[in-house]
């Protein structure tokens, strides 16, 4: 993991619970001037000069990066000292036991020295600041922006022509703009204030986590004439934390659409309870993510989140997977095996694709939900668990109840709180935000590239109907990022199926949920599925993976459209055909 940071020229190392260094990357070795063999196994406190190393990280096990810790001083073997900014986050094992600490080192001394020399009118230094890979802007004594470098443009999404002359508070969320008054404080007192951590509000409304230093800006006579802010994009660190802890928050759910805003508001309340939740929505709308957000925003967040895909496990294995089995329950059962309910004890059990649960198992699940007790397969002893249930489905459960394919009593037991995630085509107002957010995440995961979308490509992206919803959008942007050799995504970098047919924009009035899809959308989905299937040689597993859906979901869609995996022709049914 830490080797990836070498590509970004960011030093990183890990320590165990005894503060012994267990791994270190080349960027950190270059900063310290040591060989790996000289540092592995050494106490990290011996590397830093008089600074307690990872004390807060290892003692308290806090999940937040230790941005408020002082900068650390490192001396290499030549005696050269580097002032480093240190960010640290705990490392846990699969059982959430603290096993060590990951530390990221950034040498900002060259930037600090340059800023120390800056004068308000020195244009040559401003040109240099414009080329640095940290965001920098300056304000006058009234707080109006006078300078905005290129990296600040990239992080915020603002064109400097739009931002110059405006109050600096437009860059920040309302709840953090007040805290950013520290910049005015730095100007008033003529001092430097370091290590503030807050969120910048990008031009499209997306919050961007940053760490910022403020300092007074002086002229040649050392009179304070304004202020300077140097800020660092912490999105990479946030992604590292998320990869380590697998935790998600409401900031992972992106959207300004009124329907999504209503969902966020209700989820914020429901998450704090133990109420059973049912999430309905088409494939790719983010049901998994919403379930994780609910869990990690609940009092159970420190306990397990266990997912069961009811459509992916064969019917004859579902019961033993859900409830476990006792030794000797069947041939090959050499010892007791706990089920998913046992694994989720104290936490949350996420039952995905609940609409595909066999009727034979629905009755037993209902009894477990009512009493939180069950018999493992082949056992005569009951087991009691404390589990919160979140279920999700891309089917209309009420309709399946009418057809007697789903138990009515189980449906009402699951449907305590129901959230219906809209299709992406029904929340087109969110498309620009989602495109930038997803592209930003993908760029960070791919060597921190900086890539923009051309107007022509954006027009295609905004006009597509997205039968695969947000997951399809992610796949399209990932495809474009792989194909694109430069820093601008053009229409030719989009998947072929998007170039062969330019769909008409779908109005919000026509894009609401309906039992039967309209003809245009139905034909578009069929064409999309056929082209993806041909691209992958008729292999349904690879096609499903490329579309970001389960193989069973792909099978149902192909059946609906009458598409054969081995055929070069498409027989597309009409929307009203059975």
CA–CA separation, 48 and 39 (whole Å): 12
Write out pLDDT tens, residues 370-394: 888 988 888 888 889 999 999 999 9
Name the fold adopted by 519-578. Arc Repressor Mutant, subunit A (1.10.10)
pLDDT tier at 408 (50, 70, 90 boundaries)?
very high
What is the structure's pLDDT at 331? Answer: 75
Most confident range, picked from 64-68, 205-209, 278-282: 278-282
Write out pLDDT tens, residues 14-41: 888 888 888 888 878 877 777 888 888 8
More confident of the two residues 463 and 115: 463
What token pair was written down for 61? 């096990």
What is the structure's pLDDT at 90? Answer: 79
User: Do the strands 135-140 and 224-233 form a parallel or antiparallel pair, or are they unpaired?
Assistant: antiparallel
What is the structure's pLDDT at 108? Answer: 56
Looking at the predicted structure, is the pLDDT value of residue 310 above 60?
A: yes
Write out pLDDT tens, residues 483-534: 898 889 999 999 988 876 544 444 433 333 333 334 555 666 777 787 778 7
Write out pLDDT tens, residues 262-276: 888 888 889 999 999
Looking at the predicted structure, is the pLDDT value of residue 431 above 70?
A: yes
- Give 227's Cβ-side CA count (13 Å radius): 27
More confident of the two residues 566 and 213: 213
What token pair was written down for 553? 């979901």
Write out pLDDT tens, residues 35-90: 888 888 888 777 665 444 544 565 454 444 443 344 555 555 555 555 666 777 77
Rounded to the nearest 10°, the torsion over CA 476, 479, 480, 484 is 180
pLDDT tier at 128 (50, 70, 90 boundaries)?
low
Helices (H) and strands (E) in the chain, counts: 24, 19
Neighbours of 238 (CB within 10 A): 19
What token pair was written down for 108? 């900002």
CA–CA separation, 325 and 276 (whole Å): 26
Same fold for the pair 2-107 and 112-237: yes
Domain boundaries, the chain: 2-107, 112-237, 247-421, 430-513, 519-578
* Closest by Cα among 136, 174, 171 to 157: 171
pTM: 0.54
What is the structure's pLDDT at 191? Answer: 72
Looking at the predicted structure, is the pLDDT value of residue 297 above 70?
A: yes
Neighbours of 353 (CB within 10 A): 22
What is the dotted CATH code of the domain comprising 430-513? 1.10.8.60
Write out pLDDT tens, residues 333-352: 778 888 899 999 999 999 99
Looking at the predicted structure, is the pLDDT value of residue 402 above 80?
A: yes
pLDDT tier at 434 (50, 70, 90 boundaries)?
confident
Residue pair 480/457 in contact (Cβ under 8 Å)? The answer is: yes
What is the dotted CATH code of the domain comprising 2-107? 3.30.450.20
Looking at the predicted structure, is the pLDDT value of residue 407 above 60?
A: yes
What is the structure's pLDDT at 385? Answer: 92
Under the phi-then-psi rule, with left for phi > 0, alpha for psi from -120 to 50, and beta for the rest, what region is 336?
Answer: beta
What token pair was written down for 201? 């509000």
What is the structure's pLDDT at 574? Answer: 41
Lowest mean pLDDT among 65-69, 161-165, 362-366: 65-69
What token pair was written down for 170? 């437009």
Name the fold adopted by 112-237. Beta-Lactamase (3.30.450)
Mean residue pLDDT of the chain comes to 76
pLDDT tier at 144 (50, 70, 90 boundaries)?
confident
What token pair was written down for 85? 């900014």
Looking at the predicted structure, is the pLDDT value of residue 252 above 80?
A: no
**Is domain 247-421 classified as CATH 3.40.50.10470?**
no
Tell how far CA 435 is from the center of its chain. Answer: 13
CA–CA separation, 291 and 419 (whole Å): 10
More confident of the two residues 246 and 564: 564
Residues 6+ apart with CB under 8 A from 403: none
More confident of the two residues 546 and 471: 471
């Amino acid at each position: 993991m830490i080797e990836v940071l070498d590509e970004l020229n960011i030093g990183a190392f890990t320590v165990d619970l005894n503060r012994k260094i267990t791994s270190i990357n080349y960027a950190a070795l270059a900063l310290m001037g040591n060989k790996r063999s000289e540092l592995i196994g050494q106490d990290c406190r011996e590397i830093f000069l008089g600074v307690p190393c990872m004390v807060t990280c290892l003692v308290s096990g806090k999940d937040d990066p230790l941005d408020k810790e002082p900068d650390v001083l490192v001396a290499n073997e030549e005696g050269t000292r580097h002032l480093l900014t240190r960010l640290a986050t705990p490392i846990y094992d699969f059982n959430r036991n603290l096993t060590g600490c990951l530390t990221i080192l950034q040498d900002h001394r060259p930037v600090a020295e340059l800023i120390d020399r800056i004068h308000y009118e020195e244009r040559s230094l401003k040109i240099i600041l414009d080329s640095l890979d940290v965001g920098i802007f300056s304000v006058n004594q009234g707080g109006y922006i006078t300078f905005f470098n290129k990296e600040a443009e990239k992080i915020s999404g603002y064109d400097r022509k739009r931002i110059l002359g405006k109050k600096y508070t437009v860059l920040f969320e309302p709840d953090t703009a007040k805290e950013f008054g520290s910049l005015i404080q730095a100007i008033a007192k003529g001092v430097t204030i370091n290590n503030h951590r807050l969120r910048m509000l990008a031009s499209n409304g997306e919050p961007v986590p940053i760490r910022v230093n403020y300092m007074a800006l002086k002229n040649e006579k050392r009179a304070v004439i304004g202020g300077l802010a140097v800020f660092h994009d912490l999105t990479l660190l946030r992604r590292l934390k998320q990869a380590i802890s697998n935790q998600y928050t409401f900031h992972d759910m992106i959207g300004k659409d009124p329907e999504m805003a209503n969902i966020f508001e209700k989820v914020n309340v429901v998450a704090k309870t133990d109420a059973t939740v049912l999430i309905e929505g088409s494939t790719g709308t983010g049901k998994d993510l919403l379930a994780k957000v609910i869990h990690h925003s609940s009092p159970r967040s420190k306990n397990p989140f266990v997912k069961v895909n009811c459509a992916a496990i064969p019917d004859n294995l579902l019961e033993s997977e859900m409830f476990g089995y006792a030794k000797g329950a069947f041939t090959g059962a050499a010892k007791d095996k706990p089920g998913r309910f046992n694994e989720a004890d104290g936490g949350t059990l996420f039952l995905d694709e609940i609409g595909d649960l066999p009727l034979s198992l629905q009755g037993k699940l209902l009894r477990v939900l009512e009493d939180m007790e069950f018999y493992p397969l082949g056992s005569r002893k009951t087991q009691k668990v404390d589990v919160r249930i979140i279920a999700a489905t891309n089917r209309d459960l009420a309709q399946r109840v009418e057809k007697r394919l789903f138990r009515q009593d189980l449906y009402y037991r699951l449907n305590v709180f129901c959230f219906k995630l809209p299709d992406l085509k029904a929340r087109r107002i969110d498309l620009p935000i989602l495109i930038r957010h997803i592209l930003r995440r993908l760029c960070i995961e791919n060597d921190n590239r900086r890539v923009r979308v051309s107007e022509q490509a954006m027009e295609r992206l905004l006009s597509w109907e997205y039968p695969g919803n947000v997951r399809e959008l992610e796949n399209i942007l990932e495809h474009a990022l792989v194909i694109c050799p430069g820093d601008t995504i053009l229409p030719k970098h989009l998947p072929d199926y998007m170039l062969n047919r330019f769909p008409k924009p779908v109005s919000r009035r026509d894009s609401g949920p309906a039992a039967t899809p309209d003809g245009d959308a139905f034909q578009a989905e069929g064409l999309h599925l056929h082209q993806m299937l041909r691209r992958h040689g008729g292999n349904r597993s690879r096609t499903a993976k490329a579309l970001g859906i389960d193989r069973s979901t792909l099978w149902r869609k192909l059946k609906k459209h009458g598409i054969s995996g081995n055929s070069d022709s498409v027989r597309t049914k009409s929307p009203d055909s059975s």
